[in-house]
A and B are shown apart, each in its own frame.
Chain A
Amino acid sequence: MNPSKLIMVFFIFFVSVSCTPRSLSVAQKNACMAPSANFKALDAIHSTKIHAILWAKKFAKQASSKELSLSDKCRQTQILIKALYGLRDGESATWENPQNNTSGKIKILNTIVQTGIWGYGGCRDYLSYIKIDNKLESFKFRACPKELGAFELVDSAGFPIPGHLYFAGWYFYDYRFFE
């Protein structure tokens, strides 16, 4: 390997370990880690595990796009915890912050009841909506209890996909990989 390539490899390594978005670390410090509220940053970090180059684009995208304030991230986290631990399938929880012109919603879709070692028993699929200045974004996640046993699930193409996050007793997976 020639010196310029070696320098570039070290640079990429440095960027990958130091680029954890500041807003994400603030959200983490305050336990406001709802995956939908931090999605772009989490998705960029997630991409470093499964893509060779795409993660750089995602880091650029998350850095330049508008995101929720910390308070709104905490509101989204609040209804997420309320929904995952307290709501039945089909029920939803919402929040609204007129001051920032933002709102959010979590709707529990279904809970997988499956006994035995294999399968997704205990996992809950849910939809998450975030509205910033009348621009609506929707996300779909699968939240699984930690005892599922593996942080990686096999996607629809047969590849192991790591979760986006472990938080509050749940692993969170981007549902797009499993459709």
Chain B
Amino acid sequence: MKKYVIILLAFYLNSISALYAENNNKNKIDFDWFNSEEYKMINKMHDCKVKYIDGSFGTCNPYNSYRNPNLR
């Protein structure tokens, strides 16, 4: 019974937090995030793929080279 009460409470509190999030200005970004280098980097790294010498594919994360010295 106790665990069902906890689950119901979790559901209720989560619904409440969603309502609060809708009703305040918390969800506005107050600086130029979308033109920052870091935002561009996130998008680039999310989709970027490179082909290695051995024909396999991987992401562009430069730290992959710490596993495979052939990529350095």
Q: Chain A: residues with CB nearer than 8 A to chain B? A: 8, 11-12, 15, 19, 21-23, 26, 30-32, 53, 56-57, 59-60, 63-64, 69-71, 74-75, 77-78, 81-82, 85, 99, 111-117, 119, 121-124, 145-148, 167-170
Q: How far is the CA of A115 from the CA of B31 in the complex (A)?
A: 40
Distance in angstroms from A137 CB to nearest chain B CB is 18
Interface size on B, as a range, is 35 or more
Inter-chain contacts of A99 with B (CB < 8 A): 30
Query: Are the CB atoms of A63 and B16 closer together than 8 Å?
Result: yes
Query: Are the CB atoms of B13 and A60 closer together than 8 Å?
Result: yes
Q: How many A-B residue pairs have CB under 8 A?
A: 132
Query: Are the CB atoms of A30 and B33 closer together than 8 Å?
Result: yes
A59 touching B10 in the complex, CB below 8 Å, given contacts A111-B63, A122-B66, A147-B64 = yes
B22's nearest neighbour on chain A, judged by CB, is A22
Q: How far is the CA of A71 from the CA of B28 in the complex (A)?
A: 7
Q: How far is the CA of A119 from the CA of B28 in the complex (A)?
A: 41
Query: Are the CB atoms of A168 and B10 closer together than 8 Å?
Result: no
Query: Are the CB atoms of A147 and B38 closer together than 8 Å?
Result: no
Query: Are the CB atoms of A63 and B10 closer together than 8 Å?
Result: yes
B25's nearest neighbour on chain A, judged by CB, is A69
Query: Are the CB atoms of A70 and B11 closer together than 8 Å?
Result: no
Taking a contact as CB atoms closer than 8 A, the residue among B31, B36, B41 that contacts A85 in the complex is B41
Q: How far is the CA of A113 from the CA of B58 in the complex (A)?
A: 18
Contact of B55 with A by CB under 8 A? no
Inter-chain contacts of B60 with A (CB < 8 A): 169
Query: Are the CB atoms of A82 and B38 closer together than 8 Å?
Result: yes
Inter-chain contacts of A8 with B (CB < 8 A): 4
Query: Are the CB atoms of B29 and A30 closer together than 8 Å?
Result: yes
Question: Interface readout for B28-69 with A: 1 if CB under 8 Å, 0 if not?
Answer: 111101001011011101101000000000111111111111
